Amino acid sequence: MNFTYLLRIVPLLGLLTAGACAERPMSGVLLPVRDSVEGTSRVLILVASTRQRSEDAAQMFGGGRAGHVSYASVTVSIPPDSARKAGDVQWPRTLPGDPRRDFVTLATNYLDKPGFEAAIAANAKQTKRSRVVVFVHGFNNRFDDTVYRFAQIVHDAKAPVIPVLFAWPSRGQVALRAYTYDKESATFSRDAFDDLLDDLSRHRNVTESTCWRIRWETGSRWKRCAAGQCGQSGATTS
């Protein structure tokens, strides 16, 4: 991957962990809004997750551990550049959010594995892109936190990639017991992460896959990702 492109990406990634420690935004933002506003941008995030599905459609996934991998897609609307500061996620103050000034969700879908693979193919065909970025979030992250932040990073970096989020079960809480739970959840999710990278390496529409992650996980392909050996190619940041 182009080195200049990576230099543009790396400083933005630290915002994900910084945001997790800041004031927690309201939940429920993943419930799609009906309005679409001219001048906004759309970012499609494809998801592979070891989190349990939530019964609340406005959350999609909670912090519990699932016995299998689930797949999904989330389309995020980002306000016009004139209405926001690059690097910031502008969370709605009230629901539903206003797409003229807020990040809002336009569509959510649960997918099966063939549907996930078909979504990658459709995205590649529509955007003429064949590079996939797999993002692995850090501790203390709700699902919606991670989706919006990843969409912001991809948009602001003008990244010519197909974004895939690997969402493992995090409590999304600042507490010692939650930290222990998150650490165990990361270990729990390693095999599923390996399988995702293997699947992407075999996907006929993917020529390159890169990992972005917060460097704290250990073992298996977590280490390979840190060493720059994620899928066909890899990158990471501290």
Q: What is the pLDDT of residue 45?
A: 98
Q: What is the pLDDT of residue 238?
A: 29
Q: Considering the domain boundaries, does residue 148 fall inside one?
A: yes
Strand order in the sheet with 104-111: 104-111, 61-78, 41-53, 162-167, 131-136, 208-213
Q: Considering the domain boundaries, does residue 232 fall inside one?
A: no
Q: Considering the domain boundaries, does residue 234 fall inside one?
A: no
Q: What is the pLDDT of residue 225?
A: 55
Distance between CA 78 and CA 147 in Å, rounded?
12
Do β-strands 41-53 and 162-167 pair in parallel, antiparallel, or remain unpaired?
parallel
Task: End-to-end CA distance of the chain: give it in Å, rounded.
Answer: 18
- Residue pair 236/209 in contact by the 8 Å Cβ criterion: no
Q: Which domain holds residue 140?
A: 3-226
Question: Computed over its alpha carbons, how large is the radius of gyration of the chain?
Answer: 16
State how many domains the chain has. Answer: 1
In degrees, rounded to 5, the angle at the alpha carbon of residue 29 between the alpha carbons of residues 24 and 35 is 140
Q: Considering the domain boundaries, does residue 237 fall inside one?
A: no
Distance between CA 74 and CA 197 in Å, rounded?
20
In degrees, rounded to 5, the angle at the alpha carbon of residue 16 between the alpha carbons of residues 200 and 208 is 20
Q: What is the pLDDT of residue 230?
A: 55
Q: Considering the domain boundaries, does residue 123 fall inside one?
A: yes
- Closest listed residue to residue 137, CA positions, set 56, 54, 17, 2: 17
| Per-residue pLDDT of the chain in tens (238 residues, 90 and over written 9) | 332 333 344 444 444 444 444 455 678 999 999 877 899 999 999 999 999 999 999 999 999 999 999 999 999 999 999 999 999 999 999 999 999 999 999 999 999 999 999 999 999 999 999 999 999 998 889 999 999 999 999 999 999 999 999 999 998 877 788 889 999 999 999 999 999 999 999 999 999 988 887 554 444 445 545 434 454 444 333 2
Phi, psi (deg, nearest 5) at residue 33: -95, 160
- Residue pair 150/135 in contact by the 8 Å Cβ criterion: yes
- Closest listed residue to residue 77, CA positions, set 25, 151, 158, 127: 151
Q: Considering the domain boundaries, does residue 101 fall inside one?
A: yes
Distance between CA 188 and CA 53 in Å, rounded?
17
51: β partners: 65
Element (H, E) at 111: strand 104-111
Place of tokens 């010519």: 160
- Closest listed residue to residue 155, CA positions, set 207, 87, 92: 87
